[in-house]
Amino acid sequence: MKGNNSAFTLLEIMIVVTLIGVLAAVAIPSFTGAVAKTQARACIANLKTIDMAKAEWMVAAQKPSDATPADEDLFGKNKPLRDKPTCPSGGTYDLRQANEKPTCSVAGHAF
C-alpha cells in the first residue's frame, strides 16, 4: 500500500506563517488606533454630559456662573446625573467652575 503524500511542505508552512505575520503587523496598529479614537469620542461625550449637568445644577440651585460644583451636587439620586461618568481610558474628570468646560486628565480628551 502506498501512503498518502498530500502533506504540506515546510516551505509552504513558512510562507503562510510569514503572511500571517505581515497581516498582523498591519492590522494591530490600525486596531489600536481605532480603539484609542473610540475611547476619546466616548470621553468627549461624557464631558459634554457633565457640562450639561453643570448647567442644570447652576439653574436649579440658582448658583452664579463662577461657582464650582462638587460631585455631590451633580451625581446621585435626584441629581442631574445618577452616576458619575468614567473615562474609558482611565482618566479622571475635573469639573471646574460652572462657566468652564470640564476636562479629562488624558491628553487629547477635550471638547
| Per-residue pLDDT at 85 | 96
HSE-CB at 21 with a 13 A cutoff on CA atoms is 6
Terminal C-alpha separation, the chain: 75
Report pLDDT for 6: 75
Tell me, what's the pLDDT at 10? Answer: 92
Task: Say which residues have a Cβ less than 8 Å from residue 46's Cβ, sequence separation at least 6.
Answer: 85, 86, 87, 93
pLDDT at position 92: 96
Match 479622571 to its residue by C-alpha cell: 92
Average pLDDT of adjacent 10-residue blocks, the chain of 111 residues = 72 95 93 94 97 95 94 94 96 95 94 81
Sequential DSSP letters for 11-32: HHHHHHHHHHHHHHHHHHHHHH
CB of 103 closer than 8 Å to CB of 96 = yes
Secondary structure class of 104 (helix, strand, coil): strand
The pTM of the full predicted model, rounded to 2 decimals, is 0.78
